[in-house]
């Protein structure tokens, strides 16, 4: 979203919401031209959100497969995105459905929320956003926005913003991280008035993800769009997927009261095995268990194989190796949480699903050599998925948070 947005590396079905998380293979795919209508997209359609630090021309995003674009139009009551007009027009000319978002600075003040909504409406109109389009309230920390004003006052202010958007003939959405939606907003009151109006940010790992894996969709009601990465297909742009069909002429708030809950397994967007992964011993091949649902995942730290008693068996899975496991997590006789990978064969769940930990302070991300991996900073209070036990790099302790990416354990 903005340069101040938090890096979200948590998926529900994670510890705060449940279990889960998966590293997704970086697959180079041929570019395709999106075939979406400019007025509607189907469920599971992919899209991007952009601001002034992205290209003014969104042709390359359409060629990469984006079927909708959510453009930042405004912030507070004094900023408009200078590239918004071009981003909206090139989205339309490339057969992408346009939407908009406004970065909120009203905290929990309902009067200020109405003023910002009116400002966003005027900006969207000036930039050529079609009437009846979606306009989202981007609610997160940054630019003086205080997210700690209380769940109810905050929800009331957000609803005031959304009411104003709707009254002007647009469809309101609420964008926030899964953590903010759970901990800082009375989200139930928002979706009670505007069902299926949530646009949730929830990332499996830091780094490139090409396609969403719905086995690890955040377990939340009322979601219409899921932002699953901040580096979609290597374009350094946020990647999103429509959980429900979206339409400029339709109304996201009238889905017959249905909740938007993705299936827990078995979908076309799930990951595939990484052909570039390190090899394991021959013992990695296990007997399948067809009577239980299979889920694709990735081993994020070398995983030894155990039996139900918790006794170590021969063989292991190397880090970043694609596997299938069966059913949900199980507790071994020694009390450890594991995943079944074959007949009486298990791996530790933390090596695949990870553990959700909350940052106690701002932290940099490092590579396997202990050098800064990228420009990102994980902000205090952000939930982060870590995999396996600690690593020692140059005498310092780290947790792995993604493929070749680490954070110092002292920051948790």
Comparison of pLDDT for 46 and 38, the residue scoring more: 46
pLDDT in tens, 292-315: 666 767 788 888 999 999 999 887
- Please pick, among 49, 116, 138, 210, the residue that the annotation labels catalytic: 49
Q: Residues 310, 391: one domain?
A: no
Angle made by CA atoms 213, 28, 11, in degrees to the nearest 5: 20
Length of the chain: 412
pTM of the model: 0.59
pLDDT of residue 16 exceeding 60, the answer is no
Same domain, 96 and 110: yes
Q: Is the distance from CB of 229 to CB of 209 less than 8 angstroms?
A: yes
Do the domain assignments include residue 171? yes
pLDDT at 316: 83
Q: Answer yes or no: are the C-beta atoms of 83 and 56 closer than 8 Å.
A: yes
Based on the fold, state whether residues 129 and 235 are members of the same structural domain. Answer: yes
Torsion sign across C-alpha atoms 76, 81, 85, 87: negative
Say whether both 136 and 232 belong to one domain.
yes
In this structure, the answer to whether residues 200 and 214 fall within a common structural domain is yes
Residue 33 predicted with pLDDT over 70? no
Q: Does 292 participate in catalysis according to the annotation?
A: no
Do 164 and 313 fall into the same domain? no
d(C-alpha 96, C-alpha 39), whole Å: 8
Going by pLDDT thresholds of 50, 70 and 90, the confidence category of residue 382 is confident
Shared domain for 325 and 245, answered yes or no, is: no
Residues 299 and 244 in one domain: no
Q: Examine residue 8 and state whether it is found in any structural domain, yes or no.
A: no
- pLDDT one-digit tens code per residue, 235-274: 999 999 999 999 996 444 333 333 454 443 333 333 333 3
* pLDDT in the model for residue 249: 67
Confirm whether 181 is domain-assigned. yes
Please tell me whether residues 380 and 318 are part of one structural domain. no
Structural domain containing residue 381: 355-411
The pair of structure tokens assigned to 259 is: 């909740």
311 is catalytic: no
Distance between the two ends of the chain, CA-based, in angstroms? Answer: 25
Q: What is the CATH number of the domain that holds 249?
A: 3.20.20.80
Do 193 and 300 belong to one domain? no
Q: pLDDT grade, residue 19 (50/70/90)?
A: very low
**pLDDT value for 403:** 80
Residues 235 and 292 in one domain: no
Task: Compare 321 and 211 and report the one with higher pLDDT.
Answer: 211
Give the count of domains, the chain: 3
Q: Residue 401: phi, psi to the nearest 5?
A: -115, -5
Catalytic residue from among 75, 116, 140, 230: 140
| CA–CA distance, 39 with 131 (Å, rounded to integer) | 11
Residues 82 and 227 reside in one and the same domain = yes
In a domain, 298, yes or no: yes
């Amino acid at each position: 979203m903005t340069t101040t947005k938090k890096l979200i590396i948590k998926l529900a079905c994670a510890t705060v919401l449940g279990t889960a998380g998966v590293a997704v293979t970086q697959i180079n795919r041929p570019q395709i031209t999106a075939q979406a209508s400019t007025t509607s997209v189907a469920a599971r359609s992919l899209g991007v959100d952009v601001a002034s630090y992205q290209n003014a021309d969104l042709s390359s995003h359409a060629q990469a497969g984006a079927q909708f674009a959510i453009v930042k139009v405004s912030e507070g009551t004094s900023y408009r995105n200078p590239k918004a007009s071009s981003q909206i027009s090139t989205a339309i000319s490339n057969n992408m459905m346009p939407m908009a978002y406004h970065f909120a600075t009203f905290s929990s003040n309902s009067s200020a929320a109405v003023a910002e909504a009116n400002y966003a409406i005027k900006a969207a109109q000036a930039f050529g956003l079609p009437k009846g389009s979606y306009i989202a309230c981007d609610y997160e920390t940054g630019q003086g926005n205080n997210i700690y004003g209380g769940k109810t006052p905050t929800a009331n202010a957000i609803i005031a913003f959304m009411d104003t958007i709707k009254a002007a003939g647009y469809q309101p959405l609420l964008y926030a991280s899964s953590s903010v939606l759970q901990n800082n907003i009375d989200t139930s009151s928002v979706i009670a008035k505007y069902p299926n109006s949530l646009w949730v940010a929830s990332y499996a790992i830091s780094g490139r993800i090409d396609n969403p894996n719905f086995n690890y969709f955040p377990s939340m009601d009322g979601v219409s769009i899921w932002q699953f990465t901040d580096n979609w297909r290597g374009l350094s742009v946020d990647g999103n997927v429509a959980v429900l069909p979206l339409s400029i002429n339709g109304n996201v708030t009238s889905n017959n009261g249905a909740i938007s809950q993705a299936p827990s397994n078995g979908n076309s967007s799930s990951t595939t095995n990484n052909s570039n992964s390190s090899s394991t011993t021959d013992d990695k091949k296990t007997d399948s268990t067809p009577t239980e649902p299979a889920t694709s995942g990735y081993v994020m730290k070398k995983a030894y194989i155990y039996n139900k008693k918790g006794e170590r068996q021969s063989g292991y899975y190397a880090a970043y190796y694609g596997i299938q496991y069966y059913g949900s997590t199980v507790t071994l006789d020694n009390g450890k949480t594991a995943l079944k990978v074959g007949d009486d064969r298990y791996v530790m769940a933390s090596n695949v699903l990870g553990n959700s930990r909350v940052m106690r302070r701002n932290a940099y991300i490092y590579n396997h050599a202990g050098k800064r991996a990228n420009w990102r900073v994980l902000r205090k209070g952000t939930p982060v998925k870590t995999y396996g036990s600690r690593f020692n790099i140059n005498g310092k302790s780290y947790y792995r948070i993604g493929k070749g990416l680490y954070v110092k354990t002292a920051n948790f």
